[in-house]
Amino acid sequence: MVKLTDVAALAGVSASAASRVLSGDATVRVSEATRMRVLEAARQLDYVPNHAGRSLRTSRSSTIALVVPDVTSAVFAELANGADQEAASRGLAIVLGRAERVRDDDDWLRRMLGESRIDGVILQVPEGTQPEDLASMVERETPIVIINSLDDGPLSTIVLDDAAGISTAVNHLHSLGHERLGLVGGLASNATARRREAGFRSALQASGLPVREEWITRLGYTGADGRAAIELLEKSAPLPTALVVANLNAALGVLAAIHARALRVPSDVSIVALHDVWYADATWPPITTVRMPLRQLGAAAVARVAEGGQQVTHMTIRSPEPLLVIRQSTAAPG
């Protein structure tokens, strides 16, 4: 590997001068000619600074960890794209971590931090994690931001405007003429799920519709949870004419369970799900969804971590607004 001294030698300057030129140090004092020779030498030798050397000296790794419960959740793709882009524009690298490993005691995150491989962390905690579970992270001086889950507490947080998303879904159904709406929600222990449920309730009230407790389930976000939700709702017949599903994965299960009962979507039941993901368009019928500003969430999280800062902030991403993507799972009732 070619190193800084090789570049300096070729350019006929000291390593020190080369370093300052290459890092774009504004306070550097070199003649334009020298500058050019250094840059040209670096280009010619295809110089890439050694990360260990730089990182050791500066004690910064220019790397932040993005830790999510499930990388394979399609919701994650857009989040990661936003994060990537923001990181690239700041010269940061992102390493992906899978939150499972943060829970077991092999304790990936703590090791990465201890080894100084990571300057900061964006953490989406798994469903059901309580603020107390994060206590051990609070003392660290490392910037941490919790996304998409808690919206207060001793760590900085960034969340989506879940209530607005659900409200968009409710308004769509109401404008189609539905008056009997149910919610297939996440676990009550989950802060996101609570925000979505609160949004559901207030959207119904705003529309002058009744809130029927027996039409609200809180079983979780997986496909199996969605299926179970239909079983549960069935017990308190009659079913609502439309369902807001708080997560697209659950919506797959909901759809399957409805098919299994030989009901039709949307003629018997309309469905709107939160989060717009490729397979919303690959089901039958394709599912109407509400698209959330996940890309912006990712970018904001990187920005927040990169800027470090000691004070704890709580932020909600409201822009762009939740976008209704109408497909074929919603129609007028009856």
Partner DNA sequence: TTGACATGGTAAATCGATTAACCATATGGT
Partner DNA sequence: ACCATATGGTTAATCGATTTACCATGTCAA
> Which of 145, 255, 271, 301 touches a copy of itself (CB under 8 A)?
255
Q: Give the Cα separation of 227 and 253 in Å (integer).
A: 4
Q: Which stretch binds a copy of itself (CB under 8 A): 32-40, 104-112, 151-159, 289-297?
A: 104-112
Query: Distance of alpha carbon 172 from its chain centroid, rounded?
Result: 25
Tokens of 267: 């003629």
Least Å distance, CB 10 to DNA, is 12
Tokens of 45: 């030798």
Strands 288-291 vs 323-325: parallel, antiparallel or unpaired = antiparallel
Burial 4-37 (b: 16+ CB within 10 A, else e): bebbbebbebeeebbbbbbeeeeeeebeeebbeb
Beta bridge partners of 244: 183, 272
Least Å distance, CB 35 to a copy of itself, is 22
> Helix axis angle, 15-22 relative to 4-11, nearest 10°?
100
Residues 9-68 within binding reach of DNA (CB under 7 A): 12-17, 19-20, 22-23, 25, 29-31, 33-34, 47, 49-50, 52-54, 56-59
Provide the mask over 104-143, with x wherever binding to DNA is found by CB under 7 A and - wherever it is not: ----------------------------------------
Least Å distance, CB 320 to a copy of itself, is 22
Least Å distance, CB 55 to DNA, is 8
Residues 59-88 within binding reach of a copy of itself (CB under 8 A): 59, 61, 70-74, 76-77, 80, 84, 88
The yes or no reply on residue 205 touching DNA (CB under 7 A) is no
| Count of residues near DNA by CB under 7 A | 30
Residues 275-294 within binding reach of a copy of itself (CB under 8 A): 278-279, 281-286
Q: Give the Cα separation of 294 and 159 in Å (integer).
A: 10
Q: Would you call 327 helix, strand, or coil by DSSP?
A: coil
Q: Would you call 280 helix, strand, or coil by DSSP?
A: helix
**How many CB atoms sit inside 10 A of residue 67's CB?**
24
User: For the chain, where are the alpha helices, taking DSSP H only?
Assistant: 4-11, 15-22, 32-45, 51-58, 74-89, 99-103, 108-114, 135-138, 162-176, 191-206, 223-235, 248-260, 294-306
The yes or no reply on residue 112 touching a copy of itself (CB under 8 A) is yes
Least Å distance, CB 20 to DNA, is 5
Please say which residue, 57 or 235, places its beta carbon nearer to DNA.
57
Length of the chain: 334
Q: Give the Cα separation of 128 and 176 in Å (integer).
A: 34
> Which of 16, 23, 50, 189 touches a copy of itself (CB under 8 A)?
50
> Which of 51, 210, 307, 318 touches a copy of itself (CB under 8 A)?
51
Please say which residue, 25 or 133, places its beta carbon nearer to DNA.
25
At 159, which helix (H) or strand (E)?
Answer: strand 156-160
| Site residues (vs a copy of itself, CB under 8 A) | 1, 46, 48-53, 55-56, 59, 61, 70-74, 76-77, 80, 84, 88, 93, 95-96, 98, 101, 106, 111-112, 114-117, 222-224, 226-227, 249, 252-253, 255-256, 259-260, 278-279, 281-286
| Site residues (vs DNA, CB under 7 A) | 1, 3-5, 12-17, 19-20, 22-23, 25, 29-31, 33-34, 47, 49-50, 52-54, 56-59
